[in-house]
Amino acid sequence: MPLALALTVVLALLALFQLALALGAPLGRFAWGGAHRILPAKLRVGSLVSILIYGFIAVVAWGRVGAIELFPQPFAVVMMWVIFGYFVLGILMNAISRSRSERWVMVPVAVVLAVLSFFIAMGYGELATAI
């Protein structure tokens, strides 16, 4: 469960960051390609959608480690691999950003999320293996 907790903490911090962006904080250089200091309306909506996605990812991760039973285990297993792929794609997308700030901050964050999701997808941290 420490892996799911670590993933959730990182996602919660990202959710706070996205909420700040959605509320107009001048942090746009760290997200969405870094082209806007303050995000336009469409990207603010995108930040709010990101928060929902982060919540879904956290729920899937907790389901994969067996802490909650919201989804059938086979669904959680498959979804964790999809989530891992999503974070790998995030590494690549952040790495090609024109924003140096986004590359320097978000690539390491995406790497951490990818590594954590990989180990969760592999089944490390399951309650059954901890008992």
Q: Which of 5-9, 114-118, 121-125 has the lowest mean pLDDT?
A: 121-125
Tell me if 72 is assigned to some domain: yes
Tell me if 46 is assigned to some domain: yes
Phi, psi dihedrals of residue 117, rounded to the nearest 5°: -65, -35
DSSP 28: G
72-121 residue pLDDT tens:
999 999 999 999 999 999 999 999 999 999 999 999 999 999 999 999 99
* pLDDT at 130 > cutoff 60: no
Q: What is the pLDDT of residue 127?
A: 58
Q: What is the pLDDT of residue 1?
A: 82
List the structure tokens of 97: 């950003």
Domain that holds residue 78: 2-126
Q: What is the pLDDT of residue 55?
A: 98
Tell me if 37 is assigned to some domain: yes
Domain count, the chain: 1
Tell me if 131 is assigned to some domain: no
Tell me if 39 is assigned to some domain: yes
> Which pTM was predicted?
0.90
* pLDDT at 128 > cutoff 90: no
14-72 residue pLDDT tens:
999 999 999 999 999 999 999 999 999 999 999 999 999 999 999 999 999 999 999 89
d(CA 113, CA 111): 5
- DSSP collapsed to 3 states, 68-126: CCCCCHHHHHHHHHHHHHHHHHHHHHHHCCCCHHHHHHHHHHHHHHHHHHHHHHHCCCC
Tell me if 98 is assigned to some domain: yes
